[in-house]
Amino acid sequence: MTGEVKAAAAALTRGELVILPTETVYGLAADAGDPAAAARIFEAKGRPRFNPLIAHVADLAAAERVAELPPLGVRLADAFWPGPLTLVARARGEGGVCDLARGGLDSVAVRVPAHPIALALLAAFDRPVAAPSANRSGRPSPTRLADAVEETGGSAALALDGGDCRVGLESTVVSLLGPRPTILRAGGVTRAELIAIAGPLEVAPGEALRSPGRLALHYAPDAPVRLEAAGPRDGEAFLAFGPTAAQGPRVWNLSPASDLREAAAHLFAYLRAADRGRPAAIAVAAIPEQGLGEAINDRLRRAAGYLG
């Protein structure tokens, strides 16, 4: 274990916050069993307290101490952990995730992140770690250390540098509370990948079944966002996808090769970069609604304020 990871585990034990790299986005981490530490997270993010946090653990055995995973949950865990999948199941009372971290629910969200530094910290700390994305509530998630420090660094005792996040989108959140699994938030594991393991999913009838706290204006930069744009208008920044005639200092290409994985990895960083130039708006090219495109479009629609 490196000295940095050791120092981070000690900070968590003292009830302090730590900026934690994961493969999806940077998290703002605290001891999930410590209500005062969880309260610090809500305060640092300006996050409504009814919006529960994800408990991060080192492996499946640790997840089963936190949540009552049904057999399907174990199959999904075997298939996707460590990785960008969060499972929502009934909480174990003695599971070490406090009421406040669970947003007062009797369910709990749990995941094993696929990042060596996160796994080293979870092994060293040996208890569940609550970690929402390290942005201020409603802002794009940070996928680079500097962005995480800019957003919430002032509230953290220390920040662990894990480089740029490989996936770039948050984990897929799947509820196992009903008869069939339900996607509460599209993310780094695609619908098709889930169905290959879990079979048919419950179709959520709308926002009602979605995760608490998924507000319309979420993942939003300061500039307005204009979707399915063929190109930038005067004064606009432009996020292209695939071949484009647009060029200049306000143009970023999410993926010149039209690769959704690459686009996902760049999305939040480029939204931030475009926003820094204070454009009239950020125009974004159409992204196909397949594979990771579902999660990319979910974030973009929310950044544009379209979903309620």
CA–CA distances in Å: residue 75 to residues 60, 137, 200, 292: 10, 32, 14, 22
Of the residues 18, 76, 184, 239, which one makes contact with ligand TXA according to CB under 6 A: 184
Q: How far is the CB of 111 from ligand TXA (least distance, A)?
A: 6
Which part of the chain contacts ligand TXA (CB under 6 A), choosing from 46-54, 57-65, 119-127, 234-242?
46-54
Quick one: what does residue 229 bind among Mg ion, ligand TXA, none, with the CB cut-off 5 to 8 Å set by partner type?
Answer: none
Q: How far is the CB of 136 from ligand TXA (least distance, A)?
A: 11
272: helix, strand or coil: helix
Q: How far is the CB of 132 from ligand TXA (least distance, A)?
A: 3
Task: Show the site string, 223-242: x = touches ligand TXA by CB under 6 A, - = not.
Answer: --------------------
Quick one: what does residue 53 bind among ligand TXA, Mg ion, none, with the CB cut-off 5 to 8 Å set by partner type?
Answer: ligand TXA
Which part of the chain contacts ligand TXA (CB under 6 A), choosing from 6-14, 207-215, 245-253, 292-300?
207-215
| Per CB under 5 A, 133 contacts Mg ion | yes
Say which amino acid occupies 93: G
Distance CA 58, CA 235 (A): 47
The per-residue b/e assignment along 142-157, b for 16 or more CB within 10 angstroms, e otherwise, is: bbbbebbbebbbebbe
CA–CA distances in Å: residue 144 to residues 57, 58, 134, 168: 22, 22, 10, 9
The residue nearest Mg ion at its CB is: 133
Percent of the chain that is helix, strand, coil (3-state, to 5): 30, 15, 50
Of the residues 185, 250, 266, 299, which one makes contact with ligand TXA according to CB under 6 A: 185
**For residues 89 and 131, which CB has a smaller minimum distance to Mg ion in the complex?**
131
Q: How far is the CB of 20 from ligand TXA (least distance, A)?
A: 7
**For residues 133 and 253, which CB has a smaller minimum distance to Mg ion in the complex?**
133
Read off the tokens for 202: 């419950």
**For residues 142 and 232, which CB has a smaller minimum distance to Mg ion in the complex?**
142
Binding-site size for Mg ion (CB under 5 A) equals 1
30: helix, strand or coil: strand
Read off the tokens for 293: 């495109």
> Which 101-160 residues touch ligand TXA, going by CB under 6 A?
105, 107-109, 113, 131-133
Which part of the chain contacts ligand TXA (CB under 6 A), choosing from 3-11, 81-89, 241-249, 251-259?
81-89
Beta-sheet pairing, 129-130 with 54-56: antiparallel
Quick one: what does residue 123 bind among Mg ion, ligand TXA, none, with the CB cut-off 5 to 8 Å set by partner type?
Answer: none
Helix (H) or strand (E) holding 10: helix 3-13
First vs last Cα of the chain: how many Å apart? Answer: 44
